[in-house]
Structure 1
Amino acid sequence: MTNVVNSLIPVQGRVDSVDSSAPPTSTSELLQRISEDYTTSNYLWTGDIDTACFTEDCKFTDPTITFTGLDTFLQNTNSLAKIIPYITYSSTLKSTLNTIKNVNDDKSYILTTWKMYGKFKYGSILSVSGSTKFYYNPKFQISEYEEKWDIPVDVALRQLLPWSASEFQRDKKKELFKLRGYGNVKSGLIINELIEFSPIINFDKIDGTWKVIHGPHFGILEKILNVKFEYINYIIKGNKIETRVKYKGWGGGELTASGNLKFNRDDCKIKFNDFGFYPGNSEEPFAENVIQGISELFFFEDLSFFPIVYLDEELCTFKFPALGVKITSKRT
């Protein structure tokens, strides 16, 4: 990306450092200042590094380029900084520092693992994870910068193409649908990525049968009640909704609830009117009036607002504010 931008916006001459602080005086100080480049300066997007931590002849290497000189780095990032605000949504640009540690090997270095992600105005999404080694000299200044990505270069650069957002959604959903377990941590991370980059909400896509694939509290309930949910389905048609929960254990059975939906911008309100319990494989409800009465006691209309944070033709995620969780379902 830097090479492309530089060809469009060339920068000549020396670019002075904007950092006039003194070099670090210890490993712990160097580690702290590198950490702040990620957490405070968002340097993977801005190029805003603590230049006092680097030598003038520092060698920079990433999967696309190798060059020597702090001035060259500043020229490259200065060019990039000029165009980034015009082609990206600044609120989505993040440099996440996952880990950072000091390593004393043949050559001492600070090792970081990170994730860089952001959304472009022309429709692409960049999401790259990687690691960087900051080799430093006895004066605690970085003399060599070595960056590696967790995905091939061509895959990373292809994300910059205008249709990459749809590819991102497709690949993330494909990965999500392979995972199992209502409380799967990796599922939750993928869902958060989809919401952050592409919070599609299209109520025209809501009708149909949706099977829950993620909801941490369902996994907890399975353990507490010693049951296994065979399916948790939402059946929606217009402003009508029916919930069906089939479980195994304690004789098994199916719980049902039906009622009305009301949409308001990006959330919905549900009011359940009818409740039922079908023990085992029975097609007849058990103690219909009793179940109806008990269920109504435990249904609180004030807690029935569910903000929808993602909705397309095959995936729907909404928040359950009362429990502080997100529930994700897949169209069947």
Structure 2
Amino acid sequence: MATICISTVLNFRLRKPRGFCCSLSSHDKMKNNNKRETPELLKIAVSGITELLRIFSSSKDQRLDTVTYTQKDQPLVSGIEDIVDILQSDYENAYFLTGNFTSSIYAEDCSFEDPTIKFRGKDLYARNLKLLVPFFDCPSLSLQQIQKVVSSDKSCVLATWKLRTYLKLPWRPLISIEGNTVYDLDDDFKIARHAESWNVSALEAVGQIFTPGT
């Protein structure tokens, strides 16, 4: 169970996007820290373990087969500024750590990707977040900056954040990550692609998990 939890945490919290629509200087440091490609074997292992966790959890709790979102008023979205405001509110609710996010601003087939896995579907993303919540201990998520980026053919939102959480493992490891999330928008101002980067490599992140917390 501990191994499954570890792989899932890495999979959905620590992401490195490929091919940003936004070319911003704030990405440079993150990119330099992630030059090394994640080993293919690690990608396969994380993908398989994540699926096993989903199947195992679904067998224990059939409610995971039907995703239910926190009921919120459907926000009125007329432009990228509205998306920025809604995302900022979701960060204030620590949506990475609580699973409480505004699902209506995501396209049904939104792409989610990181160094180890890539998949589509906001329902699947919501289920994965729900799986993670019980494994966090004293978590915190702080939004450092959020901004819109508009070009002639694409629009996106860039958020910079810090994540800190212990894991509910016997040695109580501490995960401390600084990262960026890029939200690519389609013509209807729906999030079509959600991609994250972080300031450590996947292997360095694994090393945090095996380091006893203080």
Structure 2 match to 1:120: 167
State the distance in 2 between where 1:7 and 1:158 align.
Answer: 27
Structure 2 match to 1:6: 54
Could you say if the C-alpha distance between residues 153 and 142 of structure 1 is closer, same or farther in structure 2, counting changes exceeding 3 Å? same
Structure 2 match to 1:89: 137
Structure 2 match to 1:104: 150
Structure 1 match to 2:101: 49
Q: 2:188 aligns with which of 126, 136, 139?
A: 139
Q: Any idea what the Cα deviations from partners look like across 1:89-118, whole Å, max 9, x if unmatched?
A: 33xx11111111000134210001111111
Aligned partners of 2:112 and 2:193 also within 8 Å? yes
Report the Cα offset of residue 20 of structure 1: 4.3
Report the Cα offset of residue 8 of structure 1: 4.4
3-state DSSP class of the match of 1:159? helix
Letter in 1 for 2:140: K
| Structure 1 runs of 4+ with >4 Å offset | none
State the distance in 2 between where 1:116 and 1:139 align.
Answer: 30
Aligned partners of 2:70 and 2:101 also within 8 Å? no
TM-score normalised by L of structure 1: 0.44
Report the Cα offset of residue 120 of structure 1: 2.9
Could you say if the C-alpha distance between residues 112 and 59 of structure 1 is closer, same or farther in structure 2, counting changes exceeding 3 Å? same
Aligned partners of 1:63 and 1:149 also within 8 Å? no
Q: Any idea what the Cα deviations from partners look like across 1:120-162, whole Å, max 9, x if unmatched?
A: 343200001111111112222111111111110111122222x
State the distance in 2 between where 1:76 and 1:137 align.
Answer: 24
Q: Which has the higher contact order (CA 8 A, sep 6+)?
A: 2
Report the Cα offset of residue 37 of structure 1: 1.3
Q: 2:200 aligns with which of 119, 144, 151?
A: 151
Higher helix share: 2
Could you say if the C-alpha distance between residues 7 and 119 of structure 1 is closer, same or farther in structure 2, counting changes exceeding 3 Å? same
Q: Any idea what the Cα deviations from partners look like across 1:234-281, whole Å, max 9, x if unmatched?
A: xxxxxxxxxxxxxxxxxxxxxxxxxxxxxxxxxxxxxxxxxxxxxxxx
Q: Does 1:63 align with 2:109?
A: no
Report the Cα offset of residue 7 of structure 1: 5.6
Aligned partners of 2:69 and 2:100 also within 8 Å? no
Q: Any idea what the Cα deviations from partners look like across 1:145-199, whole Å, max 9, x if unmatched?
A: 11111110111122222x343xxxxxxxxxxxxxxxxxxxxxxxxxxxxxxxx4x
Aligned ranges for residues 1-332 of structure 1 at < 5 Å?
A: 1-2=7-8, 3=50, 5-6=53-54, 8-10=56-58, 13-23=65-75, 24-39=77-92, 41-81=93-133, 83-84=134-135, 88-90=136-138, 93-105=139-151, 106-121=153-168, 122=170, 123-161=172-210, 163-165=211-213, 198=214
Q: Provide the aligned length of Structure 1 versus Structure 2.
A: 158
Larger Rg: 1
Aligned partners of 1:58 and 1:68 also within 8 Å? yes
State the distance in 1 between where 2:194 and 2:201 align.
Answer: 19
State the distance in 1 between where 2:55 and 2:203 align.
Answer: 20
Q: Any gaps of 5 or more consecutive residues in structure 2?
A: 1-6, 9-49
State the distance in 2 between where 1:32 and 1:72 align.
Answer: 24
Aligned partners of 1:158 and 1:164 also within 8 Å? no
3-state DSSP class of the match of 1:89? strand
Report the Cα offset of residue 25 of structure 1: 2.3
3-state DSSP class of the match of 1:32? helix
Could you say if the C-alpha distance between residues 27 and 147 of structure 1 is closer, same or farther in structure 2, counting changes exceeding 3 Å? same
